[in-house]
Structure 1
Amino acid sequence: MLNLFLSTYFSHKETIHNFTWRFLQILGKQGITFFIFILCAKLLTPYDFGIYNYTLAIIYFLIIFGDFGISTATSKYVAEYNATDKNKLKLVLFNSLILTISLGAVVTLLTLLFGSYILDDKYIYIIYVLPMLFLAPISSLYDGIFRGLKRFKELAIISLSIGLLSIIFVYLLVENYGLIGALISQSLFYLFLVLSLFFVYGNLCFQIDRQLMRTVFNYSLIIGISSIAYYLYSRVDIIVLGHYGYVKEIGYYELINKGFELMFLPFALLAQVLAPNITTYFSKKEYSKVRTKFNFFTKLIIPLAILMAILFYFTFPQIIKLFFAEYYVEEMLIAIFILSFLIPTKIWGVFQTQSFIVATGFAKIITVTTLLGGILNVILDVTSIHLIGFTGVFWVTLMIHSFNIIFQTIYYKHKIGQI
C-alpha cells in the first residue's frame, strides 16, 4: 500500500503540489468572501441578507462584462507563450490590463447613467460595490497569469495572507455597519489583493501589441459570451426571485449555493492546476495524451461525485438546522432533495470545462450549449415561479444543467477523438 501511495505521489508530484498551493490560494480569496457571507447570514435580518445577495448577484453580472473572459483567455495564452514564445509572454499582462480597464470604464459609466432607473431603491447598494467592476477583473487577470506560469505557491501565500489580515476589518465593518459594512468589505478586500499582486508580480512591460490584444480579446469573446450564458442559466435565478419579491427566499437559495460551491471547490482547483499541462500537450500536438487524461479523469471524478451527492443529501440539512435555524424550512429541504440529483453531473461539468474544454481552445462548445440553456432557464424560471413558486427554479436547474453537461461531454469527446 505504501509503495502504491509513493508511486502515485511521484507520478503526479507536480499536480499534487500545485493543487495544494491552489487550494490555499482559494482559501484566502474565496474564504474571506465566504466569511463575509456567514457573518451576514448570522448578523443580518433575513430580508437584509436577501438584499446583500441580490446586490452581489447584480454586481457579479456587471463584472462579467468588465472581464468578459479576458482573465481566462490570458491564462491560456500565458501557458502557451511560456512554452513557445517568451517575448510574447512579457507583453501579455499590460495588453490584457488595457482591455480589462477599458471594459470596466464602459460598464461603470453605463451603470452610473442608467442604474437608478433600472434598480430603483436598490441602486444605492450597487454604489458601495462599484469599485469591484475594476478590482475583481484585475485580480482575476493576475490570478490567470500566475496560474499560467504555474506560480501557485506565490499566489497562495499572497491570497491567504490578505484573506487572514482582512478578517479583522471585515468583522468590524459587518458588526458595526451591517449590510453597508458587508458590501464595503467586498471592495476593500479586492483592493488589497490587487495591490499585493501588482507589487509581487512586477514585470509590467509598457508596450502595446495590437495583434496580441486582438488575439486575447477574440478568444475572450467566446469565454465572455459563455460567462453571460452561464449566468443566465444559473445566477440569474436570484435576480428573477428578487424581481418577483422573493427577497428572503434569495437567502435560502444562496445558502444552498454556498454548500454547492464548497463541495465543487476541490474539483475546480484540480481542474485549474491540470489545465496548463493540458494546454501544453495540445499546443505541442500531443493529442493522445489529452485523450488519455480525459478518459482517466472521467473514471476518477464521476464516482467521487456520486459519493459527494450522497454525503450532501444527508449532512447539509443538519448543518442548516444547527447553524441557520431561521432558514430550516420546507422549501429548503425540498430544494436540497432536488439538487442532490444534480451534483454528480455538475461536479463533472465544473471539472471538464476548466481542465479540458477551455484549456484546449474549445470554449465555443460551452458558449453555444450554455447560451441555449440560459435562454431556456430564464423562460422556464418565470413560468415555474408562476406555477409552483420558489422551488420551481430548482426543478428547472436540475433539468437544464443535467442535459447541458451530458451533451458537452459527448460532443467534446467526439471532437478530440477526431484529432
Structure 2
Amino acid sequence: MNLKERISEGVKASFVAQVVYALGTGALMIILARYLLTPDEYGLLYFALSILGVAQLVATLGLPKAGAKYLNEYLETDPGQIPHILRRTLTYTLAVTSVVCLALVTLSGPVATRLGHGEIVPFLVAGAAYVLFAGLDMSVRLAFQGINKLTWAAVVKSVSAVARLVFAVAFVLMGFDALGALFGYIVGFALGVAVGLWILYSRFYRTYDTATPDPSLSKKIVSYSLPLSVMNGAELLDKQVDSILIGFLMNPTAVGFYVLGKQIVDFASIPAVSLGATVAPALGTEKAGNRMQQAARLYEQSFVHMLLLYVPAGVGLFLVAEPTVRYVFGSEYLGAVPVLQIFSVWLVILGVAKVTTNPLDYLGLAGARARIRGAMAVSNFVLNLILIPRIGVAGAALATVVTTGIYVATCVYFMHRELSLNLDYLVKRGVLVCAVGVAMGIGVSIAVPYVSGLLTLAAVIGVGVVIWATTATASGALDVKRVMALLS
C-alpha cells in the first residue's frame, strides 16, 4: 500500500471512528446535561474526571506512545521485534498503572479533603478502575496506530464510545446519578480494551515471526517515554488543571460551564483528530525511508486543509455560541457562552495542533516538544491562578488559548526546521483561507438574529456551510476533485 492509499484508508477509518465517538460523546453530553443531571452534578462528574485524568497520566508515563514510536520504526526495519515491543510496553504500563490505582484508592480521602469537596471520594475510589481501563484503551489504540492499522484503532474507539453512552445512561437511570455516569465510562473503556486486545493478539501478535530481542529495546522504550512523560504531563496539566482549579477556587457548577465549552470544541475537532492520527505515523515512515521532501509536502497539505476547515469553523462557532447553548443544553447553561466564544479561537489552534504536535514525536522530536509544552503548562497554571479569581471561567479559557497558541506556533517552527517547509505557499494559502472565513462570517452574522429554536439554528449553520463551500471552491482554496480522490 503506497503513501496516498495508506493516508486515504487511515483518514476514512479514523474519521468514521471519530464520528461514532463524537456522536456518542455528544449524545451523552446532551442527555446528561439537559435531562439527567443538574449543572452541579454535571460539574462534579467532570471535576472528578479531571483529577482522574492526572492520575492516568502518572499511570502511563508516556510508555504507550513510546511503544507506538518503536512499533512504527521497527515495522520498516525489523518486523520481528514487533511482538517484543507489544509485550514489553503492555507489561511496563500495567506495572506502573497498578501502583497508581492502589495509591488512588488509598489517598482518595485526603485528596478530596484538600480540594474541599468530600463528595468526590466515591468517584476517586471507583476511578481506580477508570484509570486502569482508560490507560489500557489508549495503549491498545496507539499500538494499532504504531503498526499503521488505523482501522482497528477506530474499531476500539467506536466500541468504547457506544458502550460508554449506553451504560452511563443506564446507570444514571438506575439511580446512581453522576457516579453512575462514571461507571458507564469504566464499562465502555473495559469493553474497548477487551475487543482491542483480542484483535491485536489474534490478528497481529501471532502473525509476526519473532526475532531475537534487540538487547537495547527495553532501554529505548523507557528512555523515549521520559520526554513523552514530561510532554504528556504538560499536555494533561493544560487540559485538566483548569477544571481542577475552577472546582477548587469556584464550584462544580462553574466546572460544568467550562467543561461544556471544551466538549463542544472537542466535538468540532473530529476531522483534525482523524487526519492527525493518520499523518503522524505516515511522517515517521517517510523519515525512516529518508523521504524528507515527500514528508514536507504531506505536512504542508495537511496544515493548509486544517486552516481551511477550522478558520471558518472558529468564526461560525463564535457567532452561534449563545443560541447553541440556549437551545441545545438549556438556559441554565448560558454561563458557558463566554467560554465557548473564547474557545472558538482555540478551535483554530487545535486544528493546527492535531496535524503538528503528535507528528513531531514520530520524527524523533519528542524532547524538543516536551520542553516547550512544559513551559506552557506552567504558564497556563500561573495564568489560571491570576485570571480565574478575577474573571471566572472565562479566565481559564483565555489562559488556555494564549498558552496553547504559543505552544503550537513553536511546534510549527520545529516542524519547519526539520522538514524545510515552503513558507511562501503556507502564507499565501493562509491569507486565502482567512478571506473565506470573513465571507462566511458576514453571511452567518446576518442570519443569527433569526434563530428562534433548534430548526432555525440548524438552518443558520447550514447557511454557513454553503457559503464556506461555495467561496472555498470558487477561490480555489478547496480542490473538490482532490478531496474526493483521497476519500474514494
- For 1:294 and 1:109, the matched residues in 2 are separated by 42
Partner of residue 288, structure 2: 283
- For 1:271 and 1:413, the matched residues in 2 are separated by 17
Partner of residue 144, structure 1: 142
Higher relative contact order (CA 8 A, sep 6+): 1
- For 1:279 and 1:404, the matched residues in 2 are separated by 21
Shift of 1:298: 2.7
Shift of 1:256: 0.7
Q: 1:16 aligns with which of 8, 29, 34?
A: 8
Partner of residue 67, structure 2: 74
- For 2:354 and 2:160, the matched residues in 1 are separated by 27
- For 1:68 and 1:34, the matched residues in 2 are separated by 29
Unpaired runs of at least 5, structure 2: 422-488
- For 1:230 and 1:153, the matched residues in 2 are separated by 26
Partner of residue 199, structure 1: 198
- For 1:109 and 1:208, the matched residues in 2 are separated by 32
Q: 1:131 aligns with which of 126, 129, 132?
A: 129
Q: TM-score, normalised by structure 1?
A: 0.90
Partner of residue 182, structure 1: 181
- For 1:394 and 1:118, the matched residues in 2 are separated by 25
Distance 1:56 1:287, change over 3 A: same
AA aligned to 1:178 is D
Partner of residue 486, structure 2: none
- For 1:70 and 1:33, the matched residues in 2 are separated by 26
Q: 1:54 aligns with which of 42, 47, 54?
A: 47
AA aligned to 1:194 is V
Q: 1:345 aligns with which of 315, 328, 349?
A: 349
Shift of 1:395: 2.2
1:213 lines up with 2:205 in the alignment: no
1:111 lines up with 2:104 in the alignment: yes
Over the residues paired in the alignment, what is the CA RMSD in angstroms?
A: 2.5
AA aligned to 2:146 is G
AA aligned to 1:395 is L
Shift of 1:267: 0.7
Q: 1:363 aligns with which of 352, 362, 366?
A: 366
Q: TM-score, normalised by structure 2?
A: 0.78
Distance 1:34 1:268, change over 3 A: same
Partners of 2:156 and 2:193 within 8 A in 1? no
- For 1:336 and 1:22, the matched residues in 2 are separated by 26
Partner of residue 442, structure 2: none
Unpaired runs of at least 5, structure 1: 1-9
| % identical aligned pairs | 17
- For 1:234 and 1:169, the matched residues in 2 are separated by 25
AA aligned to 1:181 is G
- For 1:299 and 1:88, the matched residues in 2 are separated by 36
Per-residue deviation, residues 140-163 of structure 1 (Å, max 9, x unmatched): 111112122222333434543564
Which one is further off, 341-350 or 363-372?
Answer: 341-350
Distance 1:258 1:86, change over 3 A: same
Partner of residue 6, structure 1: none
Partners of 1:233 and 1:397 within 8 A in 2? yes
Partner of residue 385, structure 1: 388
Distance 1:305 1:148, change over 3 A: same
Shift of 1:50: 0.8
**Larger Rg over CA atoms:** 2
The alignment partner of 1:195 has SS state of helix
- For 1:163 and 1:400, the matched residues in 2 are separated by 30
Which one is further off, 271-280 or 286-295?
Answer: 286-295
- For 2:285 and 2:11, the matched residues in 1 are separated by 17
AA aligned to 1:179 is A
AA aligned to 2:193 is V
Distance 1:373 1:153, change over 3 A: closer
- For 1:113 and 1:312, the matched residues in 2 are separated by 43
Number of aligned residue pairs: give it: 407
